[in-house]
A and B are shown apart, each in its own frame.
Chain A
Amino acid sequence: MQRPIEVLMPAMSPTMKEGKLSRWLKNAGDKVKPGDVLAEIETDKATMELEAADEGTLAEILVAAGTEGVKVNTPIARLATGAAATAPTAAASRPEFPPAPPATAKALFSPSPGRPVLQAPPAAVPNVPGETAMLTVREALRDAMAEEMRRDPNVFLMGEEVAEYQGAYKVSQGLLEEFGKKRVVDTPITEMGFAGLGVGAAFAGLRPIVEFMTFNFAMQAIDQIINSAAKTRYMSGGQMDCPIVFRGPNGAASRVAAQHSQCFASWYAHCPGLKVVAPYSAADAKGLLKSAIRDPNPVIFLEHEMLYGQSFDVPTGPEHLVPIGKARIARAGAHVTIAAFSLMVGTALKAAEQLVAEGIDAEIIDLRSLRPLDTATIVASVKKTNRLVTIEEGWPFAGIGAELAALMMEQAFDDLDAPVTRLTGVDVPMPYAANLEKLALPQVEQIVAAAKAVCYRR
C-alpha cells in the first residue's frame, strides 16, 4: 500500500527562514525518482532546485507555484511511495542553472566584450541632500564600491568568486557587468598570494579592494597584511603609501564552527599602520567603505554576514562619506553606556529596549571605527552615565573590551561609579552544536543583566 509522505520546504542555507516557491517541475500524478527536480525555490541570495529524495508518485501539490514567503519546513507536497515510508522527507537542495558561457581567455587586460548583463546596474539615484533610501547592508556595500569605481579608475576589486559568481555572499552583485573583468577580478584560492599582490599594486599607485570570502581566510594572508601593508610606509620613511582595503565578513556566522566563526577586530586593531572599521548599519557600511577606499592607508573593513540582509535608511547620492575614527551614538541615554560594534550594536539596541522596562535608560555607542578609536565620544558618554558595559563577539583576552576598560582607567577613572564590565565571546573556539554556540556568544539577556549590575539594580 502506498503511504504518502510530506515534502517539506527545505532550508537552502544556514540563515534561510523562508523562500519563494517559484515553480513546480512536476505535476500531481507524475512519477518521481530520487534526484528528480521537483520545484524551484528562490531566496534573496539564490534560486535553487528541490530534488526528490524518495521514489514515488507526486500525489498532491500543497503550495502553489509563485507563492512567496513559504516558511522552512512547511509541507509543500505529498509524495506517495511504495516502500514503507521513513521520516518525513524534505528533498535536498540542488542547484540549477542556465549554463554559464564557457570562460576561455584568462588574460585580464585584453579588451573583452564581457558577459551579457544579467542584472541592470544599480539605478542612478539623484543626489538630493537629506534624501534616503532603504537598502540592505549588502546593497550598500555594493553601491559604495560601484560609486568609488566610477569615480576613480584606479580602484579595482579582487578576491575569490567576486566576479562571475557575483560574490560568495552576493556583495559584488552586478559589478562585473558594469566594470568588466579587468576591474573585477576572480582570483584562485590563494589568499597569501593575492593579498600580497594587492599590496604591490597599491605601492604602484592602484587602489585595490581585496575581498576575503571571510576574514577567517585572511589568516592565510595576515603576514602580507601586517608585515607588508601596515609597516612599509614607516619602514620606508614615508615613501611607500599603501592605499588598500581588505574587506569581507568577520565574526560569528551561524553554525559554521571553529575555523569559520571568529572575530578578528582586536587582532587587527592591535597593529599600528592599519585602520580598522566595523560598521553596523547600511548607512555606515556605505559611508565608511567609501571613506576606506579613498583613504591613503591600508584599511581593514570588517563586515558581518548576519547583517548583509538587514535593511537601513541610507542617504542617497555619491558623496555620503562617514569619517573613519568617529563613533556614533546609536541611542542616547542617561544611566549606562553600552559600547558595541558591528552585529552586536543590534543586540545592544534590543537590550536597551528591555532595559526601559527596568527604568534604565541606556546610551548605546556604535564604535564603528576601532582604530583609530573615538575615545572622546566614549569618555564624554561615561562622564554622563558613569558606567560602561562593552560588548564584542571576540575573545576576552586582550580584546576590544580590555582596551576600553584600560582607557577608562586612564581617562575617566574619577567618573566611574562601577567597574567597567566586559561581555565577550566565551574563551573557547566556536562550538558547532546549536546549544553551545548560543552559549558562546553575548546574548541580549546578558547585556540586560550586566547593565542592571553596573546600575546596582537586581
Chain B
Amino acid sequence: MATTKRKTAGETGVASPSPQVLLRYYRDMLMIRRFEERAGQMYGMGLIGGFCHLYIGQEAVVVGVQAALEEGDTVVTSYRDHGQMLAAGMDPNGVLAELTGRRGGYSKGKGGSMHMFSREKNFFGGHGIVGAQVPIGTGLAFAHGYRANSRVSITFFGDGAANQGQVYESFNMASLWRLPVVYVIENNKYGMGTSVERASATIDLYTRGGAHGIPGKPVDGMDVLAVRAAADEAVAHARAGKGPYILEMKTYRYRGHSMSDPAKYRAKEELDRMRQERDPIDRVGKLLIEGGVVDEAGLKKIDKEVRDIVLAAAEFAQNSAEPDQSELHTDALIET
C-alpha cells in the first residue's frame, strides 16, 4: 500500500472533496481499521505481547490531519500509534512485524507496539510515557523554526495526557517563541478508565492554551472532512509563523484502552451508539454511495484489496525471524 498521504499540490476540495480524495480517505481509514482488527486478533493468538493499544474508532483524526500535511512536516504521538504510522505512509509489513517482535519490524523487533519510528516518513514515535511526546514535538517545531524551513510539527496526545505538567511547559515555550507546532488532542473521552469529566477541572480541552495565548478549536473527530478542514487552518497558521495552534478532536475508541481492559467504566450503549451513528468509515462510505462514486460492490472491492494487504502483512509478520541474539547489545549508543 503506502500510498502517499501528503497533500498534493494545489489540492483543495475540502468543502466538496473530489471523488478521488473521498475514496482515498475511505481506503486509508479502512486500512487502519482492518490492520488493527488483525492486530487484535494476533494478540489473542499470542503472536503479539505486552501492551497493544488499538486505534479503532479514531481513524478519521489521523487520516484527516495527514491529508493537510506537506513533505517534511513531522509527526509525534503516544503509544496509540499503529494508525498514525500507516497514515504516515509507513509499510504495514514493517509495522505488524514490529508488533510481533521480529527482525522485519521498524525497530528490528526491539521497540514493539509502542515504540516505532521512521526518519524517512518523518514519524518520530511511538512514546510510552503519557505526555512525554509533547515537549518532544515542541522541540521538533523548535528545530523547524531554527532552520526556517517552513515545516510544521504535529504533536498528538490524549485527553488524559492533557493534564500532564509538561504539556503546559510546552505550551508556554511554543507560544513564547512562536514555534510552528499544531497540538492535536485526541479526546476519545477516556484516559484508561477515567472519563475526561473525572480527570479534568475544565473539559473543553481546546481552551487549554488560553493562558498562553494559543488559539484552539473543537473538531468533530469522527468526520474526516471536518478534521481535514480544521487541520488545514491550523497548519496554515503554524506554517505562516503565527505560532502554535490547538485542535481538540472529539473522537472515540471502540476497543478497550489496551487489550486487557475490562472497560467497566463506560456504558455499552455509549459504544454502540458511536459505532452505529458516528462511525467515520461508514460516514464516508455513505457519501461515496450517495454521490454515485461507487456502489456497495465497489466498497466491497476496496475492502477486499485492503484485507489482502493486511493479510500479506500478517503473513510477513509471522514469518519474519526473531532478531538475531547479537541485536541485544546493539543500538544502545553510537560507537565512538
Contacts A106-B201, A434-B322: A165 and B111 contacting too (C-beta < 8 A)?
no
> Among B102, B129, B256, B267, which residue has its beta carbon within 8 angstroms of that of A433?
B102
Q: How far is the CB of B103 from chain A (nearest CB, A)?
A: 8
A432 contacts B260, C-beta separation under 8 Å = no
Are B49 and A89 within 8 A (Cβ)? no
Given A435-B322, A435-B325, A436-B323, A73-B50 contact (CB < 8 Å): no
Tell me if B145 is interfacial: C-beta within 8 Å of chain A. no
Q: Does B311 contact A (CB under 8 A)?
A: yes
B45 x A8 contact (CB < 8 A): yes
A190 at the interface (CB under 8 A from B): yes
- Contacts of B110 on A, CB cut-off 8 Å? 257-258, 431-433, 436
In the complex formed, the residue of A with least CB distance to B327 is A436
A88 and B198 alpha carbons, distance in the complex (Å): 41
Interface assignment of A294: CB less than 8 Å from any CB of chain B: no
Q: Tell me if A45 is interfacial: C-beta within 8 Å of chain B.
A: yes
A46 to B115, Cβ gap below 8 A?
no
User: A91 touching B44 by the CB < 8 A rule?
Assistant: yes
Instruction: Given A11-B44, A93-B40, A99-B266, decide whether A257 and B328 contact each other with a Cβ distance below 8 A.
Output: no
- Contact assessment for A255 and B266 in the assembled complex, using a CB-CB cutoff below 8 Å: no
- Give B160's nearest chain A residue, CB to CB: A189
Cα(A69)–Cα(B186), bound, Å: 38
Q: Is there a chain B Cβ closer than 8 Å to A452's Cβ?
A: no
Stretch at the interface among A12-20, A232-240, A309-317: A12-20
| A86-B311, A189-B191, A428-B329 known; A254+B50 contact, CB < 8 A | yes
B161 within 8 A of A: yes
| B 25-65 binary contact with A (CB < 8 Å = 1; else 0) | 00000000000011011011110011100000000000000
Q: Please determine whether B43 and A439 come into contact, CB atoms closer than 8 angstroms.
A: no
Q: Mark B262-305, 1 if CB is under 8 A from A, else 0.
A: 11111111100001000000000000000000000000000000
The docked-state distance in angstroms from the alpha carbon of A96 to that of B131 is: 28
A134–B188 Cα distance when bound, in Å, is 41
The residues of B that contact A407 with a CB separation of less than 8 Å are: none
Return A98 CB to nearest CB of chain B, in Å.
7
Partner of A13, one of B101, B197, B259, B318: B259
What's the nearest-Cβ distance from chain B to residue A140, in Å? 22
**A440 interface residue per 8 A CB criterion:** yes
Interfacial chain B residues near A97, Cβ < 8 Å: 262-266, 268
A94 within 8 A of B: yes
Those of B182-201 within 8 Å (CB) of chain A: 191-195, 197-201
CB of A164 within 8 A of CB of B265, answer: yes
B residues 48-95 with Cβ under 8 Å of A?
Answer: 49-51
| Tier of interface size on chain B | 35 or more
Chain A hits for B265, CB < 8 A:
97, 100, 164-165
A432 touches B50 (CB 8 A): yes
Q: Does A192 contact B (CB under 8 A)?
A: yes
A residues 322-375 in Cβ contact with B at 8 Å: none
B128 at interface, CB cutoff 8 A: yes
Whether the pair B37, A34 counts as a contact (CB closer than 8 A) is yes
B161 to chain A, nearest CB (A): 7
Contact A90 B44 (CB under 8 A): yes
Q: Which residue of B lies closest to A72 (CB)?
A: B46
- A22 at the B interface (CB under 8 A): no
Q: How many A-B contacts if CB must be within 8 Å?
A: 225
Partner of B163, one of A11, A13, A190: A190
Chain A residue numbers with a CB within 8 Å of B164 are 189-190, 220
Q: Is there an interface contact between A431 and B327, defined as CB atoms closer than 8 Å?
A: yes
A10 within 8 A of B: yes
Q: Does B45 lie within 8 Å of A10, measured CB to CB?
A: yes
Q: Say yes or no for A455: interface residue by CB 8 A criterion.
A: no
B10 at the interface (CB under 8 A from A): no
A51-B268 Cα distance, complex, nearest whole Å:
14
Known: A220-B129, A256-B51, A258-B111. A160 touches B323 (CB 8 A): no
User: A51, A92, A93, A253: which has the most chain B beta carbons within 10 Å?
Assistant: A92
Contact check, A217 vs B102: say whether CB atoms are below 8 A apart.
no
> Which of B41, B107, B131, B165 has the most A CB atoms < 10 Å from its CB?
B41
Over the window 220-264 of chain B, the binary record of Cβ atoms lying under 8 Å from chain A Cβ atoms (1 yes, 0 no) is: 000000000000000000000000000000000011100111111
Question: Residue on A with the closest CB to B257?
Answer: A95
Q: Are B50 and A431 in contact (CB under 8 A)?
A: no
Taking a contact as CB atoms under 8 Å apart, the answer to whether A53 and B262 are in contact is no
B314 within 8 Å of A by Cβ? yes
Contact A99–B269 (Cβ < 8 Å): yes
How distant is B31 from chain A, measured CB to nearest CB, in Å? 15
> Does B180 touch A at the CB level, under 8 Å?
no
User: Which of A48, A73, A88, A439 is in CB contact (< 8 Å) with B325?
Assistant: A439
Residue of A nearest to B108 (CB): A433
Question: What's the Cα separation between A72 and B127 when bound, in Å?
Answer: 29
* A188–B200 CB distance below 8 A: yes
Q: A14-B49, A217-B129 are in contact. Are A188 and B163 (CB under 8 A)?
A: yes
Binary B-proximity of A32-48 (CB < 8 A = 1, otherwise 0) = 00110000000001111
Q: How far is the CA of A436 from the CA of B164 in the complex (A)?
A: 33
A12:B37 contact, CB within 8 angstroms: no
Is A426's beta carbon under 8 Å from chain B?
A: yes
Q: In the bound complex, do residue A165 and residue B192 qualify as a contact, i.e. CB atoms below 8 Å apart?
A: yes
- B114 adjacent to chain A (CB < 8 Å): yes
Report if A433-B322 is in contact (Cβ < 8 Å); known contacts: A10-B44, A100-B266.
Answer: yes
Asked if residues B198 and A186 are in contact (CB atoms below 8 Å), the reply is yes
Measured between alpha carbons, how far is A265 from B40 in the docked complex, in Å? 34
Contact of B128 among A10, A14, A260 (CB under 8 A): A260
Q: Tell me if B21 counts as interface (CB < 8 A to partner A).
A: no
A to B CB contacts below 8 Å, 23 in the list: A14-B50, A47-B262, A48-B262, A92-B40, A93-B259, A97-B263, A103-B198, A161-B194, A164-B193, A165-B193, A186-B198, A217-B129, A220-B131, A255-B49, A255-B112, A256-B112, A257-B110, A433-B327, A434-B49, A434-B101, A436-B323, A439-B325, A439-B328
A11-B259, A88-B45 known, 18 other contacts, Cβ within 8 Å: A48-B263, A73-B46, A91-B41, A97-B262, A97-B264, A99-B268, A106-B198, A165-B264, A190-B163, A254-B49, A256-B51, A259-B128, A260-B50, A432-B49, A432-B110, A434-B101, A436-B110, A436-B327
**6 A-B pairs with the lowest CB-CB distances in the bound complex, closest first:** A92-B40, A95-B263, A10-B44, A255-B49, A432-B112, A13-B260
